[in-house]
Structure 1
Amino acid sequence: MYAISLGDDGAELRPLEPWHAEEFLAHLDRGREFINEHIPFGSGATDVPSARAVLQSYADKRAADTGSLYGLWLEGTLVGGVLFRVFDAEGGTCEAGCWLEPAGTGRGLVTRAMRILIDWAIEERGIHRVEWQASSANEPSIAVARRLGMTRDGVLRQNYRYRGALRNTEVWSVLAPEWRAARA
């Protein structure tokens, strides 16, 4: 498979495939509480078969052209990832997202990786609107949206219950012309 360098710090963006299940599970176990602070990403992956099932669900999405999952490796260790949770090429929209374990934070990995994915989505696939959704309490994720030049579209107030509390979701987006102008 391929790996895309994210800079001179040993960081790489690679597809995250079902055959990475053991590595994915080890990564989730290292950072589970941190990763699941705001979202339940990977929370159902508690053993190798269930980790493989999560990865297979995204492999199926990739095959159907409705989503995809990519890992972020730092010096050979999986520390997080980025994804297209929803991908609608025909409609010209997608929803991007991310997760990290503590060892991957504070390095700009998500921002660097998302720039590559957004460029690809807009320039290669014709996506017009890239959306980013984050809990209002998830300040690092909102900071990524800002660094990517996204505009805050609004807040879905108390739209989901997580860990016994009602949470708000901020919706951010960037449109293809805005992305191109900022990249020029």
Structure 2
Amino acid sequence: MYAIPLTEDAELRMLEPWQDAEFLAHIDRARANTDPWIPWASRSTDLESARTTLQKFADKQAADAGRIYGIWRDGTLIGGVMFVRFDAEAGTCEIGVWAEPAGEGHGLISASVRHLIAYAFGERGIHRVEWWNSAGNTRSRAVAQRMGMHLDGTLREQSLYKGVRHDMEIWSLLAHEWKGAPNAA
């Protein structure tokens, strides 16, 4: 219900707290991809913590401050996209993504990000979409580049995660730079 088709066999839809078991199983399959980069994923280790993660995004959605979406392929949750931050008043938001190995290489992350960008610019009047990634996360950087984002800069040793300081790249796309359609860029 309320799904956005991405391909003939894949769709994008909301992820909600009641889907905690499915989300946890997916995150367990995605750990090798997510643990090096995504703090909330490494904290989703049992049903309670998975539900807490999803509830935090449900609360953000209720406050119009963020959202989380899953990507299902052939009925299996294989990745997702989110508005990490969403501030309509300031006209800015941040998009993030993740995937398990089965979700890679099919263009589903890029297609989903295009939908979020189109929604932010087209429906919500957002002026600036941001993308933050660890400088070592080349897959994440590649998505930002595919979307036509510009590298604003690198915050050296900005993020402490698992005892290691990470340089964080900040990418952005402004409303007037967007091509205007989900399949653009």
Give the structure-2-normalised TM-score. 0.94
Gaps of 5+ in 2: none
Residues 7-55 of structure 1: CA distance to partner in whole angstroms, max 9, x if unpaired? Answer: 22x1110000011100000001112132112222322222112211110
Residue 4 of structure 1 aligns with which residue?
4
> Aligned equivalents of 1:125 and 1:180: distance in 2?
16
How far is the alpha carbon of 1:165 from its aligned partner? 2.2
Q: Is the 8 A contact 2:83 2:95 kept in 1?
A: yes
Aligned to 2:108: 109
Deviation at 1:85, TM superposition (A): 0.5
Superposition TM-score, scaled by structure 1 size: 0.95
Q: Which aligned runs of 4 or more in structure 1 are off by greater than 4 angstroms? A: 181-184
Q: CA deviation at 1:181?
A: 6.5
Residues in 1 aligned to 2:29 and 2:123: alpha-carbon distance in whole angstroms: 35
Distance (whole Å) between structure 2 residues aligned to residue 163 and residue 82 of structure 1:
23
**Deviation per CA, 1:123-158, whole angstroms, max 9, x where unpaired?**
110000000000111111100001001001010111
Three-state SS of the structure 1 residue aligned to 2:69 is strand
Aligned to 2:79: 80
Residue equivalent to 2:40: 41
Amino acid in the other structure paired with 2:90: G
1:180 is displaced (CA, Å) by 3.6
**Alpha-carbon distance between aligned partners in 1 of 2:115 and 2:32, rounded to the nearest angstrom:** 28
Q: Following the alignment from structure 2 to structure 1, what is the Cα–Cα distance between the partners of residues 171 and 144?
A: 7
Aligned to 2:86, the other structure's residue is in SS state: strand
Shift of 1:167: 1.0
Q: How many residues align?
A: 183
Q: Distance in 2 between matches of 1:89 and 1:97?
A: 17
What is the alpha-carbon root mean square deviation over aligned residues? 1.5
The residue type equivalent to 1:46 in the other structure is T
The code of the aligned residue for 2:2 comes to Y
Structure 1: how far apart are the matches of 2:82 and 2:59?
13
CA deviation digits over 1:64-92, x for unaligned, max 9? 00000000111110011000000000110
